[in-house]
Amino acid sequence: MTTPMSLLNATSRPLAPLAATLLLLLLPVACGDSGGASTSDASSSGGESEGTSGEGSTEAATTSAGTGGSDSEGDTTTAGATEGTTDPGATETDTGTSEPDPSQFCVDHGLPIADFDAGAGGLGWDELAGDFTVNTTFGPWTLSEQWTGCDSYIFIDDVADGNGSSLKNSLKADLFTRSADNIHYFFISSGADPVAEAEDWQLLVGSTLAKLEPDAVANWMDRVHFVTDAPAEIEGSVGALLTAQQGTLRTLAIDRAQRWDHPGMFQDTLGGGFAPDINVLGYLGRYYNFRYDQDQALAAQDAVTVVPMMEGQVFAPDCMVGEGCFDQQNGPFSNSNNNQVWEVVFPDAATMAGFDTMEFDLRATCGPSSYSDCGHWDYEAFIQLCDDQDCVNNDEIIRWITPYSRPGTRRWVFDTTPFLGMVKDGGAHYFRFGMLWNMNPATWDMSFRLRDSGGPASASVIPAFRGNNGFNNAYNDSWQPLQFTPPNGTTRVELVAIISGHGQEAANCAEWCEHQHEFTVNGQATHTREFPGQVVSSRCGEAVDEGVVPGQYGNWTPGRAGWCPGAPVQPWRVDITDDVMIGQANTLEYEGKFNGGSPIGGRIRLSSFIVFYE
């Protein structure tokens, strides 16, 4: 095979020496074979060239590759023992020679290897992505042939408009330094001359990679692909999807479970406003790793009892686009479903006594349109445990913040183990699901996961301080000391709190400021919940490794005090056993502070508890 173009003779584009050297490395070493050399073999691959290795709200960002995925739990094997492969480092050819196996990358990185699914696939988000072949500046590249079993694939289209050009021109080394290692980037173009524009992509990406350390460059050499096909001419699933979307997509992705994902918004807050930023796409692969690892971890748990709260429950929009009641600024609502009470039937008390761990598994899907099908704002969502079906008396035990207009499926698992003592009697219990301001339309699946982990079990729970109060100079006036007595036989006492700051008043408090929450036991031991290093630029972007949903259509990347848009607010748990007297009266006091002094603005959402374990 001949090279599609020769950058060696591109005298009209002078290169810095380092960039020119890197571009030489990016070009095929020899004509003919366009197969795949793994990263570890890139320096000696000979004739082997390519490797395997808008819209919405505007209110007002490293892990090792191996934390992510989709909701699908496909067949996987541990790295080094892939199904149907006797030696993960090599495959036998018809001539008896040995070629590098693409899955060797997964072996080297200790990642589980999933089999390629050769099914027909579909063209909808979250559906199976079928096989495809792209022609690149290195020759043809086919997914099934280069399948490693642990990678994700991101496509970036230089659409011939102003936003597309701005996206391309925003490229910096941040795209690669933010990325997980197990990502392939495909750079395509919808312009009139895709071959010339692939050459432009190669020049731009090559000069960008030249700024990285040698080890990083070695990884990305096999993982950047410059597509010479027009989008509609790409063979297989990718071309079919781009054609079906009629030129509206600038980005698309295939995650580690071989499922399509819409990457969402490709803009970030730069210089005080939104602007196209290709580098924000670097967070995507890390989020896919989080999803994959979470799904695999849940699938590996033994003897789990799943107690459903909702199964495929559809919260449809109250008003559709085009109807007079549709809120064009704030998006679709499903307020007819807000604050409903749901019955959950747990096993009987004898069975519940065998569990010491309880988690809450939440899955939500919206789309395909971010504008008409998904909630536009970062709402405070909650689950309250009610005393009865009327839910006059309740305790918030789960909280999360919704993403800005992000289509697709998200799944989070919440730590609710401390609250096991509140449902230990089994039978019917009632839970209220609500959102502050407005309910998001979505399809919801919610369930409790019960199991025995071999630890102490929550036996009883005492609600402590709670409220959604203004964080001002009167904030601390209403908190009275709480007296509690741990029962005899208690083996562990925990302080548990769910705390998040909201609003932008003085000093941008309490969403964008540092504040402290002091809990003092018996007037002596003080335990402080604070958020150092969280209220900084890109902190929520960097938290995609913890489940923050990337690509939101809003100001999602900056850090907040105790939360991020599109993520759980997990409980803060502190062992206070050594601070208390078992079988005797104890006192707990609480005080909120700003920079060690009086509160000055915004509000604090607080739910706290004392938990006794046996």
Query: DSSP letters of 169-217?
Result: HT--THHHHHS-SSEEEEEEE-SS-HHHHHHHHHHHHHHHHTTS-HHHH
Written as six digits, the tokens of 188 are: 């395509």
pLDDT of 460 over the 60 cut:
yes
Confidence of residue 480 (pLDDT cuts 50, 70, 90): very high
pLDDT of 86 over the 70 cut:
no
pLDDT, mean over the chain: 86
pLDDT of 530 over the 70 cut:
yes
Confidence of residue 249 (pLDDT cuts 50, 70, 90): confident
Confidence of residue 272 (pLDDT cuts 50, 70, 90): low
Q: What is the pLDDT of residue 246?
A: 78
Confidence of residue 48 (pLDDT cuts 50, 70, 90): very low
pLDDT of 159 over the 90 cut:
no
Same fold: 301-455 with 457-614 = yes
pLDDT of 239 over the 90 cut:
yes
- Residue of 16 and 1 predicted with greater confidence: 16
Report whether CATH 3.30.70.100 matches the domain 457-614. Answer: no
Confidence of residue 278 (pLDDT cuts 50, 70, 90): very high
Q: What is the pLDDT of residue 245?
A: 86
CA distance 65 to 151: 9
| 188 closest CA partner among 164, 142, 157 | 157
Instruction: For 571-611, write each residue's pLDDT tens digit.
Output: 999 999 999 999 999 999 999 999 989 999 999 999 999 99
CA distance 316 to 251: 27
Confidence of residue 163 (pLDDT cuts 50, 70, 90): low
pTM for this structure?
0.85
DSSP type of residue 104 = H
Instruction: For 390-414, write each residue's pLDDT tens digit.
Output: 999 999 999 999 999 999 999 999 9
Confidence of residue 558 (pLDDT cuts 50, 70, 90): very high
pLDDT of 298 over the 90 cut:
yes
Q: What is the pLDDT of residue 253?
A: 97
Confidence of residue 557 (pLDDT cuts 50, 70, 90): very high
- Residue of 293 and 247 predicted with greater confidence: 293
**Strand stretches in 264-402, DSSP E:** 267-270, 273-276, 305-315, 340-348, 357-366, 380-386, 394-401
Q: What is the pLDDT of residue 274?
A: 82
Q: How far is CA 371 from the centre of its chain?
A: 20
DSSP type of residue 108 = H
User: What residue ranges do the domains of the chain occupy?
Assistant: 7-51+66-289, 301-455, 457-614
Q: What is the pLDDT of residue 165?
A: 72
CA distance 406 to 264: 6
For the ranges 136-140, 163-167, 238-242, the lowest mean pLDDT is seen at 163-167
pLDDT of 481 over the 60 cut:
yes
Instruction: For 15-29, write each residue's pLDDT tens digit.
Output: 444 444 455 455 543
Instruction: For 101-144, write each residue's pLDDT tens digit.
Output: 889 999 999 999 999 999 989 999 999 999 999 999 999 999 99
Report whether CATH 2.60.120.230 matches the domain 301-455. Answer: yes
Q: Do 479 and 589 meet the contact criterion of CB atoms below 8 Å apart?
A: yes
Provide the sign of the torsion angle of the four alpha carbons 500, 476, 483, 517, taken in this order: positive
Q: What is the pLDDT of residue 88?
A: 45
